[in-house]
Amino acid sequence: MADAHTVAPEHEQHSPYLRHHFDDMAQQFDSATLGMWVFLLTEIMFFGGMFGAYTVYRNMYPEAFASTSQFMNPKYGAFNTAVLIVSSLSMALAVRAARLGQQKALQLFLVITMIFGLAFLGVKAFEYHEHWVDMKVPLFFGHWDYHEAPQFARPAQIMFCFYFFMTGFHALHMVVGVGLMTTILVMARKGTFSPQYFTPVEISGLYWHFVDIVWIFLFPLLYLIGRTKQLI
């Protein structure tokens, strides 16, 4: 038995993280990256459906969507965009630190990414609370006559449904992202990552940047339409 399982010399140098069905670490890394992109493609389809539906309804009710958009505060939206972009920068720097084997920097950048992600969610919660108080949530639609422009009452409700669904699913992805970062931080503290093995950091980063991209499109489409018109 011992003879049959004698390890060839070149195998001894392999990273303990190399699975036996891959030739080398580079191939394993490329496969993991590709797999993550396949997952991101399903995410594109998921959010794409909502963007498609938004396109249809906004084209049907352009004035109503523009006037309803004025209930969103674009300053919060712009601030949150900046916050997410900083978190993406720190995520990219975390991946870089992992590749260079800088353990302290990796942990620091992961924490910064999480702090900015949570800041985004905090601002979002504050905005949701304002809409809740103003009775703009679907739950209260029966009490909202949209007296500012009664002819837009129904499409205004549609616009708010899109707002809550799109930003809500985006926020859910942010919550998942912060959970991922927590896991990666725990793994980093255990010393799991090295310049030879940092795949989990890399693919979590891909996810984080994807969620950032969704917000890059949500911000102009929900907050910035109809800013030039005084419709309400």
Distance CA 56, CA 60 (A): 6
Contact with other proteins (CB under 8 A): which of 70, 71, 85, 102?
Answer: 85
Q: Are 174 and 117 in contact (CB under 8 A)?
A: yes
DSSP state of 24: S
Contact with other proteins (CB under 8 A): which of 11, 46, 62, 154?
Answer: 62
Neighbours of 33 (CB within 10 A): 13
Contact with other proteins (CB under 8 A): which of 59, 104, 190, 191?
Answer: 59
Q: Are 178 and 111 in contact (CB under 8 A)?
A: no
Neighbours of 34 (CB within 10 A): 9
Cβ 131 to other proteins shortest distance, Å: 20
Whole-angstrom CA distances from 32 to 3, 29, 186 are 34, 5, 20
> Contacts with other proteins in 156-185 (CB under 8 A)?
none
**DSSP state letters, 62-121:** HHHHHHHHTTS-HHHHHHHHHHHHHHHHHHHHHHHHHHHT-HHHHHHHHHHHHHHHHHHH
Cβ 23 to other proteins shortest distance, Å: 13
Residues 96-115, mask of contacts with other proteins (x by CB under 8 A): x--xx---------------
Tell me which stretch binds other proteins (CB under 8 A): 1-9, 124-132, 141-149, 215-223.
Answer: 215-223
Residue among 13 and 59 whose Cβ is closer to other proteins: 59
Binding site for other proteins (CB under 8 A): 25-26, 29-30, 33-34, 37-38, 40-41, 44-45, 48-49, 51-52, 55-56, 59-62, 74, 78, 81-82, 85-86, 88-89, 91-93, 95-96, 99-100, 205-206, 209-210, 212-213, 216-217, 219-221, 224-225, 227-229
